[in-house]
């Protein structure tokens, strides 16, 4: 049995996501029909559905020019078209960062952002929201020729003056080796486009795959958002080298400055030694050729500080030809299946594991939220039945006394509203402190000093110190939010215990948000940004436009972290409030049902046994609902592991990132 390719495993991942989303929708409709859909449960259902439906897997391909990066993308993802789709001719091809994805609300098209938008301060994220500033070309996904011809636009260039090349970030007198060639006319060749977005309904892209194709060192370094935001968010980075040259000076610069940000993060990185066909020599034996490839892999791994298992030698060009022509022997010789297996088991395996874990936790919380409501119903029904059984054989005066006692209990419960309101008031006061710590104005205030320093003209002394102090304050802010959330949790648990004791509630404080992981995200951003503060970038930092883009890219990434953290705190609050609201509502219904039963008993002699029978029937209905809820949620929780087991059975050769890969 052959190993499952990345494409095949991604197909199964997409099938699981669709099945899960459908079953989750059916569960929501069932819960709504049976009055189990309070605000917290509805929010959890919505988040689970969004998490699964919108789950994206981004694979970033990073390389210096002429390493065969676009050809590798063609070979892995687009061989089914029977030809090259991404431009992959000799020399420089992809001149601007290119994202391939799918948005059903946007027609199939190529959108291109002009390079001169770099002269303005807005980050890429803001430009995405201004579609009229992009050049758009409609794509015919059923015509591979038209598709390939349209995508050649990403290779277009402009010829500008040296001054404009400096302003755009493509020329630096301090590093002449990195500068593009200057023509006899004194003009410098630069990319025509700053960023490209390709939206097509490719099967893999429809299922959530996002491919990021990046240009060479010069373009990467000039666009802070790539290394501060896009590349760090990729689930895998495939770094491509040429087999005949190994690790060059510019390759090493990309690796050290843009891909290694500190910490043991190699698990998300693969190094591909491409173009091994250039080493296929008819004058050398097969063992000699393999020994030469092995030496290049070992040398590259040593220079990059990686285990050799993470360096995979392939021929993208021969792999593409083999797939198009159905040549199994050539495909095997290209070693492309080895790389696909590494991507499948490493990227998809890890991604599925993370998603399954998050989904399983969400289902447990969902089951607990809905289960509490059923528990209260069952307990109230049992109490009413016991209460009514105690009235058998009693005279009218006893029944009247029972009614008076129920009305008194109802009055006392209604009067306790002030105490419950006080609990909520304290809770909300502490929550406002967290909301303030995680708010956008607070984030802007924390970034103010660094922003001011970066926007100053000339050489920026002390920017490293200001940068470190800024992130220290940001960490302190998140730590304060952690401490405050722990205080709220302690208060909630104490208050809920008291309310449970006094009123027979079954309140349970929801799990406190894990804000520690957002501190980890801050640390990752800090490390990914440090490259721009070194000696190499002193002159770049002296350019106001570059500094403006840098600080905006940083602010955008941090805002995402703060908004995500705030969203989790809001869900936590909503879950606690919804529990209280739900149980207050059920308790009011409980009093109403008890009074209704007494009235029916007073008006008819047969009403007592009839009402007891109804309560017993309703208890059976609640038990059936509980069984059905368990069945539905258990089936949801089992979908992902079953999917994983199916993959495991189908994969005979697995090559996880970080384990030995024989090439």
Q: How far apart, in whole angstroms, are the C-alpha atoms of residue 644 and residue 650?
A: 10
Cα 211 to Cα 11, 69, 88, 102, 275: the distances in Å are 16, 12, 16, 10, 21
- The proportion of the chain whose per-residue pLDDT surpasses 70, expressed as a percent, equals 84
Residue 86: which of 144, 143, 134, 10 has the closest Cα?
A: 144
Instruction: Tell me what pLDDT residue 93 has.
Output: 58
549-605 pLDDT tens trace: 777 778 888 888 898 899 888 888 888 887 788 778 878 888 887 787 777 776 654
Q: 524 in a domain, yes or no? A: yes
User: How many Cα atoms are found within 13 Å in the side-chain-facing hemisphere of 329?
Assistant: 0
pLDDT band for position 193 (cuts 50, 70, 90)? very high
Give the pLDDT mean for 7-19.
76
Q: How far is CA 177 from the centre of its chain?
A: 37
Q: Please state the domain count of the chain.
A: 1
Q: Which of 218-227, 613-622, 644-653 has the lowest mean pLDDT?
A: 644-653
Host domain of residue 445: 422-588
Q: 427 in a domain, yes or no? A: yes
Q: 473 in a domain, yes or no? A: yes
Concatenate the DSSP letters of all residues of 597-648 into one string. HHHHHHH-TTHHHHHHHHHHHHHHHHHHHHHHHHHHHHHHHHHHHHHHHHHH
Residue 131: which of 112, 150, 145, 117 has the closest Cα?
A: 112
Phi-psi region of 273 (alpha: psi -120 to 50; beta: other; left: phi over 0): beta
Evaluate if residue 394 carries a pLDDT over 70: no
Residue 593: phi, psi to the nearest 5? -65, -40
Query: Own/partner pairs for 463-466, CB < 8 Å, 24+ apart?
Result: 463/533, 463/541, 464/533
Task: Let me know how many helices (H) and strands (E) the chain has, helices first.
Answer: 24, 11
- Both tokens assigned to 134: 């992009």
Instruction: Tell me what pLDDT residue 267 has.
Output: 46
Q: 364 in a domain, yes or no? A: no
352-368 pLDDT tens trace: 776 777 777 778 877 88
402-438 pLDDT tens trace: 788 888 888 877 777 777 777 777 778 778 889 888 9
Q: 54 in a domain, yes or no? A: no
Q: 544-603 and 396-415 helices cross at what angle (nearest 10)? A: 160
Q: How far apart, in whole angstroms, are the C-alpha atoms of residue 225 and residue 554?
A: 8
Q: Which of 27-31, 314-318, 500-504, 604-608 has the highest mean pLDDT?
A: 314-318
Give the pLDDT mean for 275-281.
89
User: How many Cα atoms are found within 13 Å in the side-chain-facing hemisphere of 592?
Assistant: 6
Evaluate if residue 653 carries a pLDDT over 60: no
Q: 538 in a domain, yes or no? A: yes
Q: 510 in a domain, yes or no? A: yes
Instruction: Tell me what pLDDT residue 322 has.
Output: 95
Concatenate the DSSP letters of all residues of 400-411 into one string. HHHHHHHHHHHH
- Both tokens assigned to 429: 């006061």
Instruction: Tell me what pLDDT residue 264 has.
Output: 42
61-97 pLDDT tens trace: 988 878 888 899 999 888 888 888 888 765 555 678 8
Residues facing residue 109 across a β-bridge: 138, 199
Strand 236-242 versus strand 57-63 pairing type = parallel
pTM here is: 0.68
Q: 550 in a domain, yes or no? A: yes
DSSP state of 343: I
Q: How far apart, in whole angstroms, are the C-alpha atoms of residue 66 and residue 92?
A: 6
Q: How far apart, in whole angstroms, are the C-alpha atoms of residue 640 and residue 13?
A: 9
Q: Which of 92-101, 280-289, 297-306 has the highest mean pLDDT?
A: 297-306
Q: How far apart, in whole angstroms, are the C-alpha atoms of residue 438 and residue 567?
A: 10
Q: How many CB atoms lie within 10 A of CB 400?
A: 12
Residue 259: which of 556, 541, 531 has the closest Cα?
A: 531
Instruction: Tell me what pLDDT residue 261 has.
Output: 54
């Amino acid at each position: 049995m052959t190993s499952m390719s990345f494409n095949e495993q991604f197909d199964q991942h997409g099938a699981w996501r669709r099945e899960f989303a459908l079953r989750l929708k059916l569960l929501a409709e069932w819960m709504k029909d049976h009055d189990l859909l309070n605000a917290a449960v509805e929010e959890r259902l919505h988040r689970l559905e969004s998490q699964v439906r919108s789950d994206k897997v981004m694979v970033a391909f990073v390389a210096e020019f002429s390493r065969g990066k676009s050809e590798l993308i063609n070979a892995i993802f687009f061989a089914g078209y029977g030809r090259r789709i991404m431009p992959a001719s000799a020399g420089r091809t992809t001149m601007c960062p290119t994202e391939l994805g799918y948005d059903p609300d946007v027609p199939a098209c190529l959108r291109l952002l002009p390079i001169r938008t770099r002269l303005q301060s807005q980050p890429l994220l803001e430009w995405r929201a201004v579609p009229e500033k992009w050049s758009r070309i409609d794509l015919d996904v059923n015509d591979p020729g038209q598709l390939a011809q349209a995508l050649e636009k990403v290779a277009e260039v402009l010829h500008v003056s040296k001054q404009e090349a400096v302003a755009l970030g493509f020329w630096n007198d301090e590093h002449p080796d990195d500068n593009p060639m200057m023509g006899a006319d004194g003009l410098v060749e630069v990319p025509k486009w700053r960023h490209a977005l390709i939206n097509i309904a490719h099967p893999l892209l429809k299922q959530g795959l996002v491919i990021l194709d990046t240009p060479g060192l010069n373009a990467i370094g000039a666009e802070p958002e790539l290394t501060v935001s896009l590349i760090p968010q990729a689930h895998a980075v495939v770094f491509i080298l040429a087999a005949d040259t190994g690790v060059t000076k510019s390759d090493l610069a990309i690796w050290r400055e843009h891909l290694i940000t500190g910490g043991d993060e190699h698990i998300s990185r693969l190094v591909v030694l491409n173009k091994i066909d250039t080493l296929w020599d008819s004058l050398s034996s097969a063992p000699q050729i393999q020994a030469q490839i092995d030496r290049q892999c070992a040398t590259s791994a040593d220079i990059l500080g990686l285990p050799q298992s993470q360096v995979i030698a392939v021929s993208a060009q021969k792999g593409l030809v083999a797939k198009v022509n159905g040549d199994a022997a050539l495909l095997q010789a290209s070693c492309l299946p080895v790389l696909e297996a590494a991507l499948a088991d490493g990227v998809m395996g890890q991604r599925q594991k993370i998603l399954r874990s998050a989904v399983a936790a969400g289902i447990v919380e969902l089951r607990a939220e809905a289960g509490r409501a059923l528990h209260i119903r069952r307990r109230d029904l049992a109490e009413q039945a016991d209460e009514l059984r105690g009235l058998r054989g009693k005279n009218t005066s006893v029944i009247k006394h029972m009614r008076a006692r129920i009305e008194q209990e109802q009055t006392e419960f209604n009067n306790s509203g002030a105490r419950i309101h006080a609990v909520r008031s304290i809770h909300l006061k502490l929550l406002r402190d967290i909301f303030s710590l995680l708010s956008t104005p607070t984030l802007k205030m924390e970034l103010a000093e660094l922003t001011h320093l970066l926007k100053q003209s000339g050489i920026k002394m002390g920017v490293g110190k200001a940068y470190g102090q800024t992130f220290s304050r940001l960490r302190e802010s998140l730590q304060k939010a952690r401490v405050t959330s722990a205080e709220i949790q302690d208060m909630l648990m104490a208050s809920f215990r008291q309310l449970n004791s006094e009123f027979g509630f079954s309140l349970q404080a929801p799990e406190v948000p894990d804000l520690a992981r957002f501190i980890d995200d801050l640390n990752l951003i800090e490390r990914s940004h440090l490259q721009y503060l070194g000696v190499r970038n002193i002159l770049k930092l002296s350019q106001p436009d570059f500094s403006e883009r840098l600080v905006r890219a940083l602010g955008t990434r941090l805002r995402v972290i703060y908004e995500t953290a705030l969203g989790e705190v809001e869900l936590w609050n909503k879950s606690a409030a919804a529990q209280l609201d739900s149980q207050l509502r059920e308790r009011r219904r409980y009093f109403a049902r008890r009074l209704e039963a007494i009235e029916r008993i007073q008006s008819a002699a047969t009403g007592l046994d009839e009402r007891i029978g109804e309560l017993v029937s309703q208890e059976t209905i609640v038990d059936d609902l509980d069984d059905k809820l368990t069945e539905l949620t258990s089936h949801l929780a089992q979908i992902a592991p079953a999917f994983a087991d199916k993959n495991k059975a189908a994969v005979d050769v697995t090559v996880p990132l970080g384990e030995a890969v024989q090439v």
